[in-house]
Structure 1
Amino acid sequence: MSTENEGTAVPPAPSAPPVPVDAPAPAPGAAPEGHAPSAGNPAPTAGGVPAAQLPPAPPGQPGAYPAAEAGWPAPAGPAYMGGDGGAGGVWGASYQQPAPKPKKGRGGLVAAILVAALVAGGVGGGIGYQLAKNENSSGSTTVAAATSGGDVKSSSGSIAAVAAKALPSTVTIEAASNNGQGGTGTGFVFDTQGHIITNNHVVAEAVDGGKLTATFPNGKKYDAEIIGHAQGYDVAVIKLKNAPSDLKPLPLGDSDQMVVGDTTIAIGAPFGLSNTVTTGIISAKNRPVASSDGASGSRPSYMSALQTDASINPGNSGGPLLDARGAVIGINSAIQSTASGGLGGSGGQSGSIGLGFAIPINQAKYVAQELIKTGKPVYAKIGASVSLEDSVGGAKITDRGTGGSASVETGGPADKAGLKPGDVITKLDDRVIDSGPTLIGEIWTHKPGDKVTITYQRDGRTHTVDLALGSRIGDN
């Protein structure tokens, strides 16, 4: 198969799954792409980091998970793709999956992704932590880069000019839990009221009463509070306390209009090196990516990502991905890491290998606005449980949902459209669907109420049906 923007087949996915840039590290073999360890918090050892993978399958369903109706597993382990809460925690569209493994075919990277924000201390920061520890014996991981180049003036529209204008509106975020564990990520100014957009996994440690600060390139630091966070989307909004009156929000672009080959500029704090600017291009669009921070019981995040070869490392999570004009087109969230070696092992790769993934800003903007408005994320759903098996050529509606419940939610969008267990969804509008996670990511690029066309196979025949996506207000 091919991606929407390419006419040739996409090569098989890399041998190891992508990892979020700023979160606790997964098991050896997958490295977090996110938080850089905070100074004073020792990096965990290779043997002390929890595996970045979904919890064991529910009893009686070997190797399978109910699909998250909003797009991610429920607290007990089942993942959902867009449904309402009900008995057993089903959100409307559950999926069932085998052990996580890299996807092929369309080039979808559906596996445990390392979160970009490194969480220092006993929780685990994965490879990012190990690298920071090895290369900075002093324990300090935050180095402020110069923001001016002397008297040399950059031409308008140059990368230097874009960076000079955008840097003052980016922040380095430090999040710490009540027990002092935490790490470093990135964020950017969303409005003049002091709202900052970042990744959910960047601020996760501070959700339950922890400490959160945001530091601007000029050295000014502000305490901050979490306004809302959406684990499924991996988007969070924080607000500066006593915010300055001269905040300049970064302009938002149109991620739908980006094409493969367009210039990209990333700003973040890789391995704690604040105010770092890197460049690249859009390598692909609509790349299916599933990420997990590796924490026990955590739900995965799903995105139909912008892929870029701009250098992104642990600490870049939550930072802006800009176009050539300096408009935000995405939020840097995850990276692909090579297979073996894991946490500092001989064969692993813990930093950028040119495969980074960003949440499209068109989606993130909507999520952020909902979080600011209500503090709660809103997820689109179809109300059906789908398999995560990658051998069925699409997203197969399972025979049963979470806890033995019906796999098609009664009265939900899928039910009203006549979809049944055993149907294999192969397209959503013009997007090819090769798996359950791919379907979740595509559903979440839409808003509740959007009308979509579903193409599916039943008994060897292809059918199409139109349906209006339902909604679920999530608790995170």
Structure 2
Amino acid sequence: MSTENEGTAVPPAPSAPPVRVDSPAASPHPAAPDDGGPHTPAPAAPYGASDPEHAPGPHGAFDPHGAPEAPAAPPSAPSYAPHQAGDAPGSQAPDASWPPPPPPPSLPSYGGGDGSGGGWGGSGGGWGSSYQPPAPKPRGRGGLVAAILVAALVAGGLGGGLGYTLARNNDETSSTTVAASDTGGSVKRDPGTVAGVAAKALPSTVTIEAASTNGEGGTGTGFVFDKQGHIVTNNHVVADAVDGGRLSATFPDGKKYQARVVGHAQGYDVAVIKLVDAPSDLVPLPLGDSDKVAVGDSTIAIGAPFGLSNTVTTGIISAKNRPVASSDGSAGSKSSYMSALQTDASINPGNSGGPLLDAQGNVIGINSAIQSTSNGGFGTGQAGSIGLGFAIPVNQAKFVAQQLIKTGKPVYAKIGASVSLEETTSGAKITEQGVSGSAPVEAGGPAAAAGLKPGDVITKLDDRVIDSGPTLIGEIWTHKPGDKVTVTYERGGKQHTTDLTLGSKTGDE
């Protein structure tokens, strides 16, 4: 199986590929939506069920009022173990012909157990019953402690009596009125807090509703890219509206605008839409530098999970450069490839296209996919968050968005060779035969100029380890056409290196 080498990403595991995370149009009580595209791919839809809160209270604690011990804590809700990602996408890279879409995974239903348990209760003396200290013993440490306790109680009673007397006497000589504040005081949240970041970013995010001419569609998220009304989102969020469908964007203040698709890139899974009659007071979200993000950095995700618009969740960067190949599983859909930012911030269907922010409120990624659980035992509904979310690095998304605004067409970096998309751990192998009978190494292309041949196995791109064809494609697509890279490859059991200047390919065809 082969693919034109542009860059790929190996999905998390062979069982259930990550899924994109858009959701169908919201309803008052949205059922597990049909993903259609934070979709059902390698960036995909995590799961999450919260345990019920257990009743506090240690056993055997001394109760000075004779209160009984609290019953055992209620049983906790069942927890589900995450499943590994699915197989690598197709067998051919998007540069020539797209690989056939992987079979859509069977998605788990979104739900959780309802736990019940005993509450606080019991019979016997309750709080407030009188306490009679034992009579002091004439000898021993116990008697001394009891005597001290009695003295303390007397002193406490005396102090309380004196306090009341002084207050009463004071009231007789002067009158003081104390009024409680009816405003609750002002609350100030620093810009660096999650609340501060959310307050600043929410007005620049939108909930996107897309529908095809036959009414099929779903809900996703986007964010303001510039003052001209351009909104950046995922390709799979707006795919249904590309050919004459309906598209709208709603801001948190309830203002809704019709929109049109400016351009979309299936391979990158990035799209740009533009608001019709855009307001003049748009505030673009600031873009960060995804290359400088570190594992452990705080993250904030904004989106419309399951149609719940303007939802804010938090987490950290769990990993960088995570190879991800994703597809929405629909007939004829093409896989997208990315070297993703992985986050444990809760991301669900409907978060697709929304911003992943750093602690300062800068966009560092576009939430695109989540890992789903296995298809065993949970039904066939849409998967939910299991803490494995994937975002397109903003440095890559920014370049793609600029190209789409400029020309309406995506531009992909390429090496000009077909590589196998079979899941391996040894590297990306240049196939013996190209796509649709074409040459495996494009004549006069970048790979040929660098001396690469069919059968060579690429193991590194610069300092990035390459373990498969999808990983190579995803890594290549983090670069721009014209970038120079160093390729490490194996031929005849020996390791070689060569410098290569990336070429370009326009469009998704």
Partner amino acid for 1:187? G
1:17 partner amino acid: P
1:358 match: 391
- Correspondence for 1:86: none
Tell me how large the CA RMSD over aligned residues is. 3.2
The 8 Å contact of residues 174 and 213 in structure 1, kept in 2 or not, is answered as yes
**Whole-angstrom distance in 2 between the partners of 1:317 and 1:65:** 23
Q: Against the structure 1 CA distance between its residues 180 and 78, is the aligned structure 2 distance closer, same or farther, given a 3 Å change threshold?
A: closer
Whether the 8 Å contact between 2:342 and 2:388 is mirrored in structure 1 is yes
How far apart, in 1, do the equivalents of 2:20 and 2:231 lie? Answer: 19
Say whether residues 1:432 and 2:455 are aligned partners. Answer: no
Partners in 1 of 2:343 and 2:16 — Cα distance? Answer: 17
Counterpart contact for 1:113–1:291, Cα < 8 Å = no
TM-score (normalizing by structure 1):
0.74
Q: 1:448 aligns with which of 477, 481, 498?
A: 481
Distance of 1:322 and 1:371 partners within structure 2: 23
Preserved contact between residue 412 and residue 504 of structure 2 (Cα < 8 Å): yes
1:408 aligns with 2:431: no
Q: Which residue of 2 aligns with 1:245?
A: 280
Q: CA deviation digits over 1:196-225, x for unaligned, max 9?
A: 000000000100000000000000000000
The 3 A distance-change label for structure 1 pair 64 and 165 is: closer
* Deviation of 1:325 (Å): 0.2
Q: Is the 8 A contact 2:462 2:485 kept in 1?
A: yes
Deviates more, 1:211-220 or 1:336-345: 336-345
How far does the alpha carbon of each residue in 1:91-121 deviate from its partner, in whole angstroms, 9 at most, with x for none? xxxxxxxxx6xxxxxxxxxxx788xxxxxxx
Structure 1 residues 150 and 470, CA, compared in 2 at 3 Å: closer, same or farther? farther
- In the TM superposition, what are the counterparts of 1:55-74 in structure 2 within 5 Å? 66-68=91-93, 70=95, 74=97
User: 1:41-440 residue pairs with structure 2 within 5 A?
Assistant: 66-68=91-93, 70=95, 74=97, 77=99, 127=107, 131=110, 152-341=187-376, 344-345=379-380, 350-391=383-424, 393-440=426-473
SS in 2 for 1:68: coil
Check 1:49–1:221 CA distance in 2 against 1; reply closer, same or farther (3 A cut). closer
Structure 1 counterpart of 2:191, which letter? Answer: S
- Gap regions ≥5 residues in structure 2: 1-11, 42-87, 112-183
Q: CA deviation at 1:350?
A: 1.5
For residue 406 of structure 1, report the CA deviation from its aligned partner: 1.1
Unmatched runs of 5 consecutive residues or more in structure 1: 1-11, 23-34, 54-62, 80-99, 101-111, 115-125, 133-148
Distance in 1 between the 2:256 and 2:355 partners? 19
Alpha-carbon distance in structure 2 between the residues aligned to 1:163 and 1:52: 27
TM-score by length of 2: 0.70
- Answer whether contact 2:36 2:218 (CA < 8 A) is retained: no
1:390 shift after superposition? 2.7
Identity of aligned residues (%): 74
The one-letter code matched in structure 2 to 1:184 is: T
- C-alpha distance 404-203 of structure 1, shift in aligned 2 (>3 A): same
Decide whether aligned partners of structure 1 residues 150 and 187 sit closer, same or farther in structure 2, where only a CA change above 3 A counts. farther
What is the CA–CA distance in structure 2 between the aligned matches of 1:301 and 1:385, rounded to whole Å? 17
Matched, 1:468 2:491: no
Rounded to whole Å, the distance in 2 between the matches of 1:411 and 1:248 is 46
Which is richer in strand? 1
Deviation, structure 1 residue 389: 2.4
Larger Rg, first or second structure (1 or 2): 2
Contact map agreement 1:69 1:384 (CA 8 A) in 2: no
Q: Is the 8 A contact 1:177 1:211 kept in 2?
A: yes
Where does residue 21 of structure 1 map in the other structure? 21
Task: Give the C-alpha shift of residue 154 in structure 1.
Answer: 1.1
Does residue 457 (structure 1) correspond to residue 457 (structure 2)? The answer is: no
The answer on whether the counterparts of 1:69 and 1:381 sit within 8 Å (CA) in structure 2 is no
Give how far 1:131 is off: 4.3
* Distance in 1 between residues matched to 2:483 and 2:228, nearest whole Å: 30
Distance 1:43-1:210 versus aligned 2 partners, 3 A rule: farther
Partners in 2 of 1:209 and 1:376 — Cα distance? Answer: 18
1:110-150 CA-to-partner distances (Å, cap 9, x unmatched) read xx788xxxxxxxxxxx859x649xxxxxxxxxxxxxxxx99
**Aligned residue-pair number:** 382
Give distance in 2, aligned partners of 1:330 and 1:49: 21
Sort the Cα spacing of 1:397 and 1:194 in 2 relative to 1 into closer, same or farther, 3 A: same
For each residue in 1:381-401, what CA deviation from the matched residue of structure 2 results, as whole angstroms up to 9, or x when unmatched?
A: 001111122336000000001
- Tell me: higher relative CO, structure 1 or 2? Use CA pairs within 8 A at least 6 residues apart: 2
